[in-house]
Structure 1
Amino acid sequence: MTVTAWDEPVGGTPRGTLVVLPGRGETAASYERFGRRLSADAWRVRLVGVDLDDLDATRERIEKVLADEALPAPTVLVGTDAGATLAALLAPTLPVDGVVVAGLALPRSGGARSWGSWEEEVDARTACPVHRRVIAEDDGFGRGGLDRPLPWGSVRVVAPGKPVLVLHGADDAVTPVADVLAAYDAQPDAVIRLVDGGRHDILNDASHRAVAATIVLFLESLRLGPDLPDVVRAPERNVAVR
């Protein structure tokens, strides 16, 4: 599997690196919009294909990208669906500064139910008409991917000691919100944001602009420090009583 790259505009100063791990069925075409948007904000984006049949080889590819000294820090894993699960599991042991978990998949998310038709699978994935067209026209897209069981019998998301942004659709029919919140009970410092009306492919859903903006704000906070100091904050108001 190749690594797909999106770089900052010519003449721009890169602000850091995102290593994107896609979900079941997805190809680089699914992340063209996301890659161009984040790279336009001067974040270098590298998409690494995830092979659920060979997780060791997948980890080696990720480690090879992370070892590229030409890529600027901070470095952040961004995963979606099975890629989100893998990002959450690998983050504690990889030289990354943070992780974005978007549309976490859990063992019960894979094979728990069958999406009886392509139309049902698309509806579970996204409400964005543009993205629906992209995946429908992508010959490499693995239809039926959401029916594929995950290679992990159980997933316990433990605190990696690194900043974590969790993004999840409030209307995700693949992984219910309650299951995601329970997975992060042991990590009270995780920044969790639910997207109203959001479905499973939350990076490519109808609210993709707001989701991308939330990620950028997280990344810019991370640049200031691992405790994620505010970049934008409300002023302190002292109202005198007369």
Structure 2
Amino acid sequence: MTTWSSHVTHTGDHHAPEGLRTRGTVIVVPGRGETRATYARLGSRLAYDAYRVRVVDPPPTTSVLTVLTALAAQLTEAVEGITAERQDGLPRPLVLVGADLGAAALSALLATASPHDVWWPDGVVLAGLPATDAREDASWEDELDVRTSCPTHRGVLTGDERVRRGALATALPQDLLDAAYANTTGIPHLLLTGDADPLADLAAITGAAKTLPKARLAVVRGAHHDVLNDLQHRSVAAEIVTFLEALRENLVPAVTVETTTW
């Protein structure tokens, strides 16, 4: 009998419900100042749809070499760890999800890494890709306003003592951002950005999407920088699940609209 509940083995790990076949693997890379707990809601939601989810720690904001080396090591450890716990190997497709720094680092890493790496994904989600490298805010409330208008998410960030306040004022290396926007890797990309994100440049993100061989850009109405965790998080999670399911069918969508009057 199927039990409709996901379970967490440790912080950042979310499993598909018991009795269901796991449909794929998702590894989430947080952004500046965030922790694994920041993505507990997203991880649980994707797990309920029978995906194995692991949230790793955000990479350091130092030199590009340090960022990419640390991220590659984290992804390798995550993939090898999930593979080792299963008799049937890693559930595919493997999709990497990055937010803010995580998105920039993933995009830059894909541009320089090898498809033979153990963590090489079948698809990638880049959320809240920043077009500016830093923002100086006067208070924690100012930073929260940049991040989200969702009261639940604001509470999660405020209540987590490990969240680094003022992190959005930490500059990302410019060459990391340059490499992220120059990525032309041929794997499928889903780009997510909020139209109320003060750190985003929609024109730049649109240009980056157009240079990718397989890319879908989704703009979330009213969403701020933490597009995965803002008020529209249910619709954003549904967009990610649609992407995951399409990957299982060679990017052929399961649902198409024949006609509509709204």
For residue 203 of structure 1, give the secondary structure of its aligned residue in structure 2: coil
Matched, 1:110 2:128: no
Trace 1:35-50 onto structure 2 (pairs within 5 A).
Answer: 35-50=43-58
The answer on 1:234 being equivalent to 2:257 is yes
Distance 1:196 1:234 in 2: 21
Amino acid at match of 1:14: T
Aligned to 1:89: 108
Report how far residue 151 of structure 1 moved.
2.9
Other structure's SS at 2:55 match: strand
In structure 2, C-alpha distance between the alignment counterparts of 1:127 and 1:64, rounded to whole Å: 34
Contact 1:99 1:162 in 2 (8 A): yes
Question: For 1:73, which of 67, 92, 96 is the aligned residue?
Answer: 92
Please say if residues 174 and 200 of structure 1, whose CA atoms lie closer than 8 Å, have aligned partners that are also in contact.
yes
Whole-Å separation in 2 of the counterparts to 1:74 and 1:51: 23
Report the alpha carbon displacement of residue 188 of structure 1 after superposing the two structures with TM.
5.5
After TM superposition, give the deviation of residue 10 of structure 1 in Å. 1.5
Q: Is the 8 A contact 1:170 1:197 kept in 2?
A: yes
Match of 2:32 among 15, 24, 27: 24
| Contact 2:130/2:201, CA 8 A, preserved across alignment | no
User: Is the deviation greater in 155-164 or in 215-224?
Assistant: 155-164
Mark the CA change 1:3 to 1:132 in structure 2 (over 3 Å): closer, same or farther: closer
Judge conservation of contact 1:3–1:48 (CA < 8 Å) in 2: no
Aligned partner of 1:123 among 145, 156, 170: 145
Question: Is the CA contact 1:25–1:145 (under 8 Å) kept in the aligned structure 2?
Answer: yes
| Larger displacement relative to structure 2 (202-211 or 177-186) | 177-186
- Give the corresponding residue for 1:61: 74
AA of the residue aligned to 2:17: P
How far apart are residue 191 of structure 1 and its match? 0.4
Distance 1:177 1:17, change over 3 A: same
Q: Which amino acid aligns with 2:158?
A: A
1:157 aligns with 2:182: yes
Aligned to 2:225: 200
Give 1:87 deviation, angstroms. Answer: 1.6
Q: Distance in 2 between matches of 1:178 and 1:128?
A: 26
Q: Which amino acid aligns with 2:256?
A: R
Instruction: Please tell me the residue identity of whatever aligns with 1:124.
Output: V
Distance apart, 1:86 and its partner CA: 1.3
Q: Percent identity?
A: 40
8 Å CA contact 1:79–1:87 kept in 2: the answer is: yes
Which of 12, 16, 32 is matched with 2:20 structurally?
12
Q: What CA deviation, in whole Å up to 9, does each residue of 1:143-192 have, x standing for no partner?
A: 01111111342333322110000010011101222222233331253100
Shift of 1:196: 0.6
TM-score relative to the length of structure 1: 0.89
Report the TM-score when normalising by structure 2.
0.83
Aligned residues: 231
